Amino acid sequence: MATLHTKNAARAMMAPAVIVLLIWMIVPLAMTLYFSTLNYTLYNPFSTPFVGFENYSYFLNDPTFLAALANTLVLVLGVLAITVGGGILIALLLDQDFYGVNIVRLLVIAPFFVMPTVAALVWKNMMMNPVYGVIGQFLQALGIAPIDWMTDVPLLSIVIIVAWQWLPFATLILLTALQSLSMDQKEAAEMDGAGALSIFWYITLPHMSRAITVVILIQTIFLLSIYAEILVTTQGGPGSQSTNITYLVAQQATSYGDIGAASAGGIVAVILANIVAIFLVRLIGKNLDA
């Protein structure tokens, strides 16, 4: 009943929610924009002179900025590669019928329920610690020198930790997609002479493309803003080897007390995120059309 009357009624009823949402988003954004033009530090919060774009040029010219940008990309792409690739493999495995498959499915989902800080601390102290971590012990048992993960390969360590947390999400979404593939199609392909690999490549993978797109889009949004895992493990170090944009922005405020630079960094991050979003939607968004 899409009459003029019902449309107007719908608008009137949606208005409060839309207005609240707008305020919710616009007010912080406007304040951030405003702060980013002030010389506003926590050391002297009562004098906040207008400085124009100075905070932006300071943030963008910080040598750490380019490193953080590169780290952010490595982090996002690395985690996406592991979770999508691994998710497809695990989903294929869990789609099989074997004894205890329900319990295994539950176990695979479990990491998703662990808080990011807890997961990162467990990985740092119990898995990756070179002396008493599980991985170190295992390598030592094999006669290989243990790796000091957080110092030697800090970015890789964070990629592994974050991928571990997001693998269940990817697996779950991809598994549901896989289960909705009709048996008939697989059988038809089998009769048409397609082997297991061909069926995967020509039938299963295209069928999952929409789910893969959803996984990539949703994860990218969250992966751009990783913070807690870095804070409790490497704190962006050594140097700036594991600093991403989010961490760099937070550092401006928490370490240097520079609210102006942090706000400018925040705006830069918003712009970057939008560039990524536009890029992604252009690249893979067509998969979402019916």
Partner 1 sequence: MGQIHLEKVRKAFGDVVIIPELDLQIEDGEFVVFVGPSGCGKSTLLRLIAGLEDVTGGKIVIDGKDATELPPAKRGLAMVFQSYALYPHMSVRKNIAFPLKMAGMDKAEIDKRVDYAAKTLNLDNYIDRRPAQLSGGQRQRVAIGRAIVREPEAFLFDEPLSNLDAALRVGMRLEISELHQRLKTTMVYVTHDQVEAMTMADKIVVLRAGNIEQVGSPLELYTAPRNTFVAGFIGSPKMNLIGGAEAGKFNAATMGIRPEHVRLSTSEGAWKGTVKVSEHLGSDTFLHVESPVHDEPLTVRAGGEFPVHSGDVVYLTPEPDKVHRFDANGLAIR
Chain residues in the site for partner 1 (CB under 8 A): 182, 184-185, 187-194, 198, 202-203, 206-207, 209
Output the smallest distance, CB 216 to partner 1, in A: 18
Nearer to partner 1, 19 or 196 (CB): 196
Residues 6+ apart with CB under 8 A from 242: 71, 154, 155, 157, 158, 230, 233, 234, 236
Output the smallest distance, CB 185 to partner 1, in A: 5
For the chain, first and last CA: distance in Å? Answer: 24
CA distances to 29, 187, 191, 203, 221 from 197, in Å:
49, 14, 14, 10, 32
Nearer to partner 1, 178 or 250 (CB): 178
Say if residues 176 and 263 touch (Cβ distance below 8 Å): no
Output the smallest distance, CB 97 to partner 1, in A: 14
Nearer to partner 1, 105 or 207 (CB): 207
Output the smallest distance, CB 286 to partner 1, in A: 12
Nearer to partner 1, 138 or 202 (CB): 202
Output the smallest distance, CB 199 to partner 1, in A: 10
Distance, in Å, from the CA atom of 207 to the CA atom of 212, rounded to the nearest integer, reads 10
Distance, in Å, from the CA atom of 23 to the CA atom of 33, rounded to the nearest integer, reads 15
- Measured from the Cβ of residue 161, the count of other Cβ atoms closer than 10 Å reads 25
CA distances to 46, 76, 242, 248 from 226, in Å:
32, 9, 11, 11
Nearer to partner 1, 9 or 188 (CB): 188
Nearer to partner 1, 105 or 186 (CB): 186
**Degrees (nearest 5) of the Cα angle 129, 135, 141?**
115
Output the smallest distance, CB 202 to partner 1, in A: 7
Joined together, the tokens standing for residue 145 give 């020198």
Say if residues 32 and 267 touch (Cβ distance below 8 Å): yes
